[in-house]
Structure formats: structure tokens, C-alpha cells
Structure 1
């Protein structure tokens, strides 16, 4: 059964900081949990510097059309280059510092940073990094469509790396006037990148437009317009647990947040100096 659209939102890039423009979608505003934050970014210089995370996994996906790539460092010793088309996962768990910035200052990097929720039992798992270069990302080819499997699986083809909370995240390229039907769990969304499409309504979807689907139904169908349609598709089952936000830390209970902040103040999330 096809899902219905419950919300269709036109979003825009905003100048968040010098050298960074972003489109921000948060679970506080949109029904996207177990995703918590989805940001499409265009970044051309270092912005944030070393900073901690705890209680979540942070995924960086550099789009294949990006001019440049990121350097990613963390306090567990990882040093990776996230080139165009590559994926990096920071499983923050009990806490770690990381730093991401353009490899070449002034060269724009275009991609997504996505926070994925952890269940209460997984808030304090061991921190670690997982990486996949562009050539390691599975690509499913079918008539009129190309699907890059970023997380989860598609048609039995699994992603290179996984996160603790089960989600599917696909980067889909539809040829002009081609349709695709994607399996969808209780939570599902489409975020447009290029071109146009229609989905379960007469509304036209386009770049920087997010579609949130109803919990009912188990598939989502899109019909590309004459320009084709490129989009990000995410789906999963909400954890439906309490969420306590504390800046870069996300926990389930106030007591866990106190514990996380205590770990940070005692230096138990490691150190990461300027690059």
C-alpha cells in the first residue's frame, strides 16, 4: 500500500556561519526520528573546530558532485579523507571529539551531515569511526534509476557500514519520466536535490523540498518529471523513546545527560587539538 504525504515543506539554504550555507531539518520540527538532524551543507572553509558528541551516530555523506572533500579527525585516532561520494560515520556513543573541514580551503564541499538516534541502551557504547570511500558504496542499477546505498539495504544489497539503529538511507537518481517504488517503514521522507517529481499527490517536488509520509503504508512511489529527479530517501522505525538534548549530546534521560556532561568535564571523551 502506498503511503500518503502528511507534510510537504519548501526549504532554503541559509548562511549559518561565514563559509557555510545549510538547509537544516530537525526531529523537533519534522517527523524524521530515528534521524535527529539532517543538514545539506555547502562549506568552503573550517567552521566548527574540534568538538565533542555523545549518545548518537553522526554520518557525513559527501555528494558525488562535490568539488572538494573533508578531512575528518577524531580523538580515537581516526584521520580520514571524505572525498566526493564517500561516507564517514562517527559512532559517538559514550563520547568522543571530532573535527571536519574542507581539505582545500576555498573549494566548496557539498554534502549531508546527519545525526542518527541511539536507543537508551546504546547511548554509551564504545566510540568508533567507520568509513567507506566512493568506490565502496554499493550502487544498484535498474531501468531508469541508479540507487546508492548509504545505510541499510536496497533489494538485498547492504551498505558498506551500518549504524546501531536500523535505518535505510538511499541516494537515488531517476531518469526523466521514470517512476520508482521504494519499500518504506513507519517513518519515511524524501528530500529533493535536483529536478522535479510527483509523489502521491499533484504537488511537484523539487530541490530543497522535503516530503514526510504517513506511518500507514509500506511503500513510496515517485514519478520523475522531464528533467529527471535526484533525491535522498530515508526510512526507519521511530524508537519512540524520550529525547534529551544537550548541545552536541543526545540522551534518553536527564540522568544520562548528567553522566555525559560529567564524562566530558573529566576529560573522558578524549582531547583533540587544533589541526
Structure 2
């Protein structure tokens, strides 16, 4: 299978209570090039939009952008209670199931973040849940030779720089601010999504080239031979590169569960209802107020 480019897709706005802004990429429009991504939301939130809820079969990821005024508080029924500030990340491999909640650490102070759902392959859908995190200062960075380019290696590796965060399955997440072109090598059977936050970039692989403007995304399928991507900004640009192995298992999604068939979905729902994913009391029941944390 050769290198493929998806259509360039614009982020769409969605209105949800508690969010001051929510822009999402309709990953179905990227086709199989989006795999293993299942959700990509660029959000701003100041309230408490969701009560504790379950996840199973995938990784729920929250990356806090460096420009975020606020921090994220991430709690899970596994016992984890983590607060991460600008530039940091919380990666929750839900596996067989976990109940979790993520809120602005201080109510009313806007949190600007990226929410990703990263599908897990069949062999890891029943694995015990694990929560991993990095603070902003723990994320290593690559700098270009002239100092004009900076790539935060949030997950994975780039140009000899490797993140200490290691998910259950290999993944790469790069937060890049560029004035000059960079090369990103996509391994065989991996896909990448390039999401541009500011500026415009040209993405080139082999004979294919696409222009990607701000608030747009492009999916790239590396095929069985992989791909060498040249990402060239027009003047300057801020973008994310997200890549992982394509999931070739059957995929069935129902609410907070991503599984391989309907039986697994029912089993996950039954585990949650029976309390096997644990319990997470809402902050109000604990007598806590996010405004005081």
C-alpha cells in the first residue's frame, strides 16, 4: 500500500455547556488515515462540563497548551489525582475500564487543551488501566540550528530527542513552532494527522503535496513502506503532528467505549454498572470546590 493523503479538513465548532469554545476535527473525513485517533478536540473550558464517567478500550489524552491560563485536574478510579499545568499532558490508558473526571483545576480560570481519544489494538483492550503524566517542564524540546524552530516532544521521539512518557502502544505527539521546514519520518503501517493551529504549512510526501491552513487537519497514511514528510511553513506556523500504528482490528464505538464487537461493548457496560471499573465520587460529594484547588 502506497502513501496516501486525506482531504484537508476544517475544524468544526460545537456548542456544549461549560465550554467557551470547542473545535473538533471530523476524523471520519480523514478516512483510515486518522487511525488510531478516534477524537481530536481543541477546547477552551472554564466550568465543570462532565461528571465522572467511564472509558474502556482506548486512551483518553489531555494536553494543556502552553498558552492556557489554567491547569487541568485529572482524577481516576485507579486512585490517581493529578494536576497538570501549561505544556503538560495526562495520558489515561483506559484498557479494561476506568472511571475518570477532568476539570479546570481552578473553576473559572480558562483551560485551553487538546482532547484526544487514541484507539488501542485488540491485545490491549483488556489490559489494566494506567495513568501517565508529564508537567510542562518535563517535556523535552528540539531546537533547530538557527534557533527559529522549536519542537516539543510530548510523546515519542524526534531528531534524537525522546519523551519520558511511554504509552501502552507507540505514539508520537509533537507540538511544533516553525519558521523553517522539518522532516518527519513516518514508520511503516503508521498514520499521521497534521493539525495546524496558526499559520499555513505545505506537507509533502513523495509526489503528494497539500496546503494546510490554520484550524485545518490532514491525514497521512504511511502505507507498508512508511513515509518521509516534509513540513514547510509559509513564514511561521504552529502545528501538531500526531502519529501511531494504524488499527486494523474491527472497531465498534458506543458512547465511552471503543471495542472490537458488540459483545465487548455490552461486557464493558456491564462491568461499569457492576462497579468493576471502580468508583469516583463527584467533587461536590467530597466537599471540594474546584475554585479552591
Please confirm whether the aligned pair reaches a TM-score higher than 0.5, indicating the same fold.
Answer: yes
Write the distance in 1 (CA, Å) between the matches of 2:109 and 2:12. 21
CA RMSD between the two structures: 1.9
Which range moved further: 29-38 or 57-66? Answer: 29-38
Which blocks of at least 5 consecutive residues in structure 1 are unaligned?
none
* C-alpha distance 5-27 of structure 1, shift in aligned 2 (>3 A): closer
Q: Indicate if the aligned counterparts of 1:7 and 1:213 stay in contact, CA closer than 8 A.
A: no
The correspondence for 2:230, drawn from 214, 217, 221, is 221
Aligned to 1:71: 73
Q: CA deviation at 1:254?
A: 2.0
* C-alpha distance 247-20 of structure 1, shift in aligned 2 (>3 A): farther
Counting only pairs closer than 5 Å after superposition, residues 1-275 of structure 1 correspond to structure 2 as 5-30=5-30, 31-143=33-145, 144-175=148-179, 178-185=180-187, 186-200=190-204, 204-216=211-223, 218-226=227-235, 228-275=236-283
Q: Which runs of 4+ in 1 moved over 6 A?
A: none
Q: CA deviation at 1:18?
A: 3.6
* C-alpha distance 260-139 of structure 1, shift in aligned 2 (>3 A): same
Q: Indicate if the aligned counterparts of 2:171 and 2:244 stay in contact, CA closer than 8 A.
A: yes
Q: Indicate if the aligned counterparts of 1:5 and 1:213 stay in contact, CA closer than 8 A.
A: yes
Q: CA deviation at 1:206?
A: 2.4
SS at match of 2:258: strand
Alignment coverage as a number of residue pairs: 271
Which blocks of at least 5 consecutive residues in structure 2 are unaligned?
284-293
Which range moved further: 210-219 or 127-136? Answer: 210-219
Write the distance in 2 (CA, Å) between the matches of 1:202 and 1:158. 28
TM score, norm. by length of structure 1: 0.91
SS at match of 1:229: strand
Higher relative helix content: 2
